Chain A
């Protein structure tokens, strides 16, 4: 579904990603792991067209996305829920959700909004509240809800459990599994290595600008190098 080939990217003169080859298949959850500052978000943002890659190709459902504008990428159904939520603080919860379907999924806006607030009952209670005044966890739900409003085919989740209480983290992973069970392909960037590997089909580890390891999630979970590097075991 999503295919990244030989991707090189970075900021200005600095190259962060030095040749990434990666795939996400239909219906898959792929976990992208790696330590802080290694370039996971950089990869996401290049896939989503926020930055222009230095080299390499990005294909989505066989179509070339390399260098495409973000709105064209969203229109295809490749949606990112970014790190740090990036909800619209001055807009109400309802307006945030409505804008989720600004360029895709507009015909089903009302029905999708109903689905989202059924998934996140806390958002239903706060539809008229300004997003900037939501708690961190509520903002994370809103960011995911906003992403779902665009009827994604592939959802990129960048650290969705960041700042959530342990209970909410559990709920978040359950939700990701549920969305995936409904057929949604997911690229999951996470710090919670154990839980991510538990729900992912495949996983890859970004290290020093390249994918140092990749394989089935179960295989990586058993890998002693990985356990030592990321779990201290």
Chain B
């Protein structure tokens, strides 16, 4: 491969990685605070993508980027209510229960989507979908560039929120020391719900950024969630920096492996790198020993 092609592959991989980072950040946040893997992650992403799809269709005709604040806020609310109304209520404080509940939610959501929207794939045709921007020798579709930039911006804002606000500090405190948090007057159940809400809000934003160049079907969430799970494990469970590095690495590996071995065989690149890194660093790139 020529250096130009490799450069283009890396750039396109990074662009794709932005979304992985966003989806994985939501997953890692929920893991870090609630100590559970949110099995409903993919299904909720899929529902958010349908929301973007229907907002775009007549009569509303809302552009996915304009819909972003709305869908993100809606997703937060949905996550918050889901935690308060279902997950927290049914879990009785037991982590393994939460795990099963999120799995159950995912099955319900998938089948409801299949029933309501059929299994057909749907896309939205935005006018700017065919626009390309050249970054040196690399040619990048405009929606992918936007999705990368916006993902990074959202992650940066989330980082600021977590480090600068009382709520963000409380979330980090609850992640490691629940009893201590209660003793300074933090409403731990509320923090759980807020964290779950933020995790799902990441999916809302990701859905808006994805839809201009991706399709939605009742199973399209799983594509990303498999990658997000890999990202979270790769980066170190519960680590924000790990989600960032892991998501970008996976995007690049996927892209380069696709160039070298073709789309189909290239898919093997991700699990291979995954296994390799875990062999060298069993706790993930950013995980504590």
A, B from the same assembly: yes
Interface 1/0s, chain A 201-220, versus B by CB < 8 A? Answer: 00000000000000000000
A102 within 8 Å of B (CB atoms): yes
Residues of B within 8 A of A (CB): 166, 169-170, 172-173, 175-177, 179-187
Known: A88-B173, A91-B169, A98-B166. A103 touches B186 (CB 8 A): yes
A75 within 8 Å of B (CB atoms): yes
Whether B183 lies near A88 (C-beta < 8 A) is no
Among B166, B175, B180, B185, residue most surrounded by chain A Cβ atoms (within 10 Å): B185
Give CA–CA (A48, B170) in the complex, Å.
Answer: 19
Give CA–CA (A146, B180) in the complex, Å.
Answer: 10
Known: A95-B169, A98-B169, A102-B170. A88 touches B185 (CB 8 A): no
Task: Indicate which residue in B172, B183, B187 contacts A90 across the interface (CB closer than 8 Å).
Answer: B172
Give CA–CA (A80, B185) in the complex, Å.
Answer: 11
Residues of A within 8 A of B175 (CB): 90
Interface 1/0s, chain A 42-71, versus B by CB < 8 A? Answer: 000000111000000000000000000111
Residues of A within 8 A of B172 (CB): 88, 90-91, 95
Whether A82 lies near B179 (C-beta < 8 A) is yes
Whether A69 lies near B177 (C-beta < 8 A) is no
Task: Indicate which residue in A85, A86, A89, A103 contacts B185 across the interface (CB closer than 8 Å).
Answer: A103
Residues of B within 8 A of A75 (CB): 185
Mostly, the B contact residues are helix
Residues of A within 8 A of B166 (CB): 98-99, 102
* Least Cβ–Cβ distance between B283 and chain A, in angstroms: 15
Within 8 A of B (CB), among A78-112: 79-80, 82, 85-91, 95, 98-100, 102-104
Residues of B within 8 A of A74 (CB): 183-185
Give CA–CA (A116, B28) in the complex, Å.
Answer: 34
* Least Cβ–Cβ distance between A93 and chain B, in angstroms: 13
Within 8 A of B (CB), among A1-31: none
Residues of B within 8 A of A123 (CB): none
What residue in chain B is nearest A49 (Cβ atoms)? B182
Interface 1/0s, chain A 129-151, versus B by CB < 8 A? Answer: 00000000000000000100010
Among all A-B residue pairs, the 8 with the closest Cβ atoms: A103-B185, A74-B185, A86-B180, A71-B185, A88-B173, A70-B182, A90-B176, A88-B177
Among B172, B179, B183, B187, residue most surrounded by chain A Cβ atoms (within 10 Å): B183
Give CA–CA (A91, B181) in the complex, Å.
Answer: 12
Residues of A within 8 A of B179 (CB): 50, 82, 86
Some 6 contacts from A to B, beta carbons below 8 A apart, are A50-B182, A50-B183, A70-B183, A71-B185, A82-B180, A86-B177
Residues of B within 8 A of A100 (CB): 184
Whether A99 lies near B173 (C-beta < 8 A) is yes
Task: Indicate which residue in A80, A85, A91, A104 contacts B173 across the interface (CB closer than 8 Å).
Answer: A91
Among B169, B173, B184, B186, residue most surrounded by chain A Cβ atoms (within 10 Å): B184
Give CA–CA (A79, B184) in the complex, Å.
Answer: 8
Residues of A within 8 A of B187 (CB): 69, 71
* Least Cβ–Cβ distance between A45 and chain B, in angstroms: 9
* Least Cβ–Cβ distance between B165 and chain A, in angstroms: 10
Give CA–CA (A195, B39) in the complex, Å.
Answer: 54
Residues of B within 8 A of A86 (CB): 177, 179-180, 183
